[in-house]
Amino acid sequence: MDKCKRVSSKDVAKEAGVSQATVSYVLNNVEGVKIKPETREAVLEAAKKLNYHPNLIAKSMRLRKAMSIGVVSDKSMSSYMTMNVLEGVRDALLSRNYTMTLCSNKSEDIESAEYIRYYSSNRIDGIIFVFTKLSEEQINYLIENNIPYVVIHTNFGNEISHMVNTNMEEAVHEAIKQLVESYGTDFAYFGVHAGRLENMRYNTYLKTLDKLGLEFKEDKVLKFETNEEGAIETLEEYYRKNTTLPRSILCDSAYLALNVLKFAAQKGIRVPEQTAVIGIGTTNFTAFSYPSLSAIEAPLARMGYIGCDMLFDVLENKPGQDVIVLKWEYIQRGSS
């Protein structure tokens, strides 16, 4: 095991009294190469006896594959979600004997981005973007340079290839239906004026209202600009006007939902007895809030697993699917 005296396939060959090629054939189970059972046995035994571990760097070099996948994710993103996706990616990599190389997404110009440098210098075969905000420039660079990538849940819609997307429509439908059935139509949407993701969520809300035959009420849409204080200010304003919160609230992020819980606690509003709250999104703290937060959540690990499978389709030039859409789930906890 000591670095200085590592055993190579040559040593195994010598021990087994065969050629290096045979060792390779046996250990890799190369198809179309027939090996006499006793020879195979001898090789296997020698390998075991010498405690042989193939040098994967050498293999990589010969195969001209890095045998590693770069994973990049914005630091800003909730690490809990990222970690869950990475679990899925790792599971998919394991069986293929690939490793996972962590990359950051910070860089001035694209050519010097960590993941591009790693790819250029053959350290990774492809890239999985997890919850990463990508610019047109970045995507174009990847496509133009023919760099294998998969994008898991980004700011882009379905306009680009190789992405794992999710659909929360059904889950939102289910959640709203339950809210309205349980608590009536004094039901609000609480969200932020922001990127496509948020607009998508908002549109899903609108569409669901429509489907359920519910009336759209402008004063039940609490929207604010993206800044730290906006959320609380907006709640505060609603509260001043109505001296209460809506009977039930769908928040476009778990962050906001937790803010609502916080605000409610501050004002002495009981949840869910006076106001029911549902968040959209997953955090590891849904269980710690009081009450625990009901939420519409994405299937994180599966997204990672599927995304990784997709990347291998790209690497192996298999046809594969361009865009895969997975469903979110409505998970009812204490706040609704």
> Which residue among 36, 75, 240, 241 contacts DNA (CB under 7 A)?
36
315 binds DNA (CB under 7 A): no
Identity of the residue, 50 or 194, whose beta carbon is nearer to DNA in the bound complex: 50
24 binds DNA (CB under 7 A): yes
Where is 293: in which H helix or E strand?
Answer: none
Identity of the residue, 121 or 227, whose beta carbon is nearer to DNA in the bound complex: 121
Contacts of 72 (CB under 8 A, 6+ apart): 102, 103, 104, 105, 114, 115, 127, 128, 129, 130, 132
120 binds DNA (CB under 7 A): no
Alpha-carbon separation of residue 165 from 84, 109, 252, 253, 322 (angstroms): 16, 27, 17, 17, 10
102 binds DNA (CB under 7 A): no
Identity of the residue, 122 or 185, whose beta carbon is nearer to DNA in the bound complex: 122
Query: Smallest gap, in angstroms, from Cβ of residue 257 to DNA?
Result: 51
- Give the DSSP letter of residue 195: S
> Which residue among 15, 18, 163, 330 contacts DNA (CB under 7 A)?
18
- What is the number of other CB atoms lying within 10 angstroms of the CB of residue 275? 24
- What is the number of other CB atoms lying within 10 angstroms of the CB of residue 33? 12
User: 208-240 b/e with 16+ CB inside 10 Å = b?
Assistant: bbeeeeeeeeeebebebeeeeeebeebbeebbe
321 binds DNA (CB under 7 A): no
Contacted entry of a copy of itself, DNA, none for residue 3, CB cut-off 5 to 8 Å set by kind: a copy of itself
33 binds DNA (CB under 7 A): yes
Query: Smallest gap, in angstroms, from Cβ of residue 63 to DNA?
Result: 6
Identity of the residue, 100 or 331, whose beta carbon is nearer to a copy of itself in the bound complex: 100
Q: What amino acid is encoded at 58 in this protein?
A: A
Contact residues for a copy of itself (CB under 8 A)?
A: 1-3, 6, 53-58, 60-61, 64, 66, 68, 71, 75, 78-80, 82-83, 86-87, 90, 94, 99-102, 104, 114, 117-118, 120-123, 145-147, 255, 258-259, 261-262, 265-266, 283-285, 288-290
Up-side HSE of residue 324: CA atoms within 13 Å toward CB?
20
- Nearest alpha carbon to residue 161 among 136, 138, 144, 143: 143
